[in-house]
Structure 1
Amino acid sequence: MNSNPQDGTSVKKYGLALHTASRELGLAISNFAGDSRCQTWNLDRDLATHLHQYLVEFIGPQTLADLAFIAVAKGPGGFTGTRMGMVTARTLAQQLDIPVFAVSTLAAVACSSSKKFISNQDMALQMPAQRGQLFGALYSVNKDFGVTEVFTDTVMTPESWHEKLESLESAYQLIEVGSELGWSVSSVLELAYLEWKQGSRPDWSDALPFYGQHPVKGH
C-alpha cells in the first residue's frame, strides 16, 4: 500500500471483478487486506439494462479512483453477456489507466471447486455449448500460484471430450459447469490478484473475450 506523506494514512487500492458470462451478474471487490465483498444477481436478459446501475451501487463506498486493476470473466459463456462485461472492463480500465485481467470462466470454477476437495487432482471441467457441443478444459490448481492450464478451453463434440479424458494418464476431478456462474466471481478476482502480485500488468487492449463458437440467434 502507498501512504500519504501529509496525513500518514494508507491509500487503499482495490481490485474489482466482473462476471457477466452467464445469467448471473457477479461482482467482487477487495483491497486484499481485510476489506472484501462479493455479490451476485440473477438478471438474465435484464443484464444489459441494469449492469451499470448495479456496478455503481456495489462499488460504494469506494470509487473508481480506488481501483488498482479490474478482472473480468472472458468466457466461455453467453455471447452477449460476455461481450458486455468485457466492454465494460476495457472501457473503465482505459479511462482509469489501469490493467485488465481477462480470466477464463472455467479457470475460475476450477479455482473455486478446488477448495472443496482435499486431493490435489487436476480439475477437468465440462460446460454445455451450442449445437450439441461442449467446452472442455483441464486445470492444475495450486493455492499459491493459482491455476495452471493443462488443456486449454476448447469447444468440441462430447465424443472428442470423452476421448480426451480417457487419454489422461493421471487422476482428475470432473466438474460439471452449470449455466449460472456469477458465484465464481471471487475466484476471478483471486486469480487476477495472484498475477498482479507476480508483477503482471496487462493493458486493457489485451483483454479479449473467448467465445469458442460463433453466436447463435437469441444467445
Structure 2
Amino acid sequence: MSLRVLALETSTDWPSLALLTPERLLGERLWEARQTLAEQLVPKMQELLKEANLSPQDLSLIAVSRGPGSFTGIRIGVVTAKGLAQALGIPLLGVSALDALAWGTPCQGFRTCVALLPAPKRGVYVGVYQVKGKALHHQGPFRFLLPHQIVETLTLCPLPGLLTGTASAVERWLEALGQGWQWAGPAFGWPRASVVGALAWQRWQRGEREDLHSFAPLYLKPTEAEEKLGTIVYPPRP
C-alpha cells in the first residue's frame, strides 16, 4: 500500500489540509478561519477523507506545520496532529511554516528567496534561502524581526531577491528595499498543507522521525529581553 499522508497547516488565518501520496495529491482544502479553526478543523478533515474514500485508519503518516505564525493556530494544529498520530499509532513529522511557504513559491531565476509571515508588534518571522536551481538552502536560522531591522537584514542578501508571503507582510518593505527585489504575489501568500505533506515525505525518506511526546510548536515568541533587543532566532543559541 502506498504511503498516505494527511497534512495540516494552521499557522495563518488561511489554514489548509491536504491528503497525498508520494505519487499524487488526493485533495486539499484552504479556507479562511480567523476565530473558528478549532470548530472547523476536524469536520473539514473528515470531509477530505470522505471525498477520497478513505478512513483515518488508511493513513500512514501525519504531517503538521509547527510554526512560526499564529500562536493559537499553531497550537490547535499541533495538538490535533499529535492526537491523531497517537490514536492511530502512526508517525508524526513536523515542517516549518516558513519552509512550506518558501518551497511552495517558484523561486527559479532569483538568488535569494525570503519567506515572511506576520508576527506580533508589527514584526515578521523570516526565513532566508539561497536559490540553487530548483533547490533552496537555509541561510542562517529562522528569525523574528521588528520593523527597524527588516530592511537592514535583507539588504545583505544577494540579488535578485524574491519575497514571498502575504501582502501585509511583504508590500510595505518592497519600496524600502529598492531595485532587485520582487514580490511573488498573492497566489503564494500562505504556506500550503500540500507542501507541508511533500516536505514531510522527504524527511520520511531520509529516515527522520519525531518523538511524539516531546514534539512541540515552533513559536519564535520573543522573551522580554529579546523584545528589547528586537530579535530572536531559531534554533536557539546554545
TM-score by length of 2: 0.74
Instruction: Select 2:212's aligned residue among 204, 210, 213.
Output: 204
**Within the alignment, does 1:68 sit opposite 2:60 as a pair?**
yes
Contact 1:77 1:105 in 2 (8 A): yes
Deviation at 1:132, TM superposition (A): 2.5
Report the AA paired with residue 108 of structure 1. A
* Alpha-carbon distance change, 178 to 192 in structure 1, aligned in 2, over 3 angstroms: farther
Aligned to 1:157: 146
Aligned to 1:23: 13
Between the two proteins, what is the percent identity of the paired residues? 28
Which structure 2 residue ranges, 5 or more long, are not aligned? 169-185, 224-238
Contact 2:2 2:22 in 1 (8 A): no
Aligned to 1:121: 111
* Alpha-carbon distance change, 141 to 197 in structure 1, aligned in 2, over 3 angstroms: farther
* Alpha-carbon distance change, 162 to 79 in structure 1, aligned in 2, over 3 angstroms: same
Deviation at 1:89, TM superposition (A): 0.5
Aligned length: 202
Q: Distance in 1 between matches of 2:59 and 2:11?
A: 22
Report the AA paired with residue 123 of structure 1. C
Structure 1 segment 1-219 matched on structure 2, within 5 A: 11-34=1-24, 36-60=26-50, 61-113=53-105, 115=106, 117-119=107-109, 121-140=111-130, 147-169=136-158, 171-177=160-166, 184-213=192-221
Q: What secondary structure is seen at the aligned counterpart in 2 of 1:50?
A: helix
Report the AA paired with residue 193 of structure 1. W
Deviation at 1:77, TM superposition (A): 1.5
Q: What secondary structure is seen at the aligned counterpart in 2 of 1:73?
A: strand
Q: Distance in 2 between matches of 1:29 and 1:161?
A: 36
Higher RCO, Cα 8 Å, sep 6+:
1
Q: Distance in 2 between matches of 1:140 and 1:169?
A: 8
Report the AA paired with residue 150 of structure 2. W
Deviation at 1:165, TM superposition (A): 1.5
TM-score by length of 1: 0.80
Contact 2:22 2:198 in 1 (8 A): no
Which structure 1 residue ranges, 5 or more long, are not aligned? 1-10
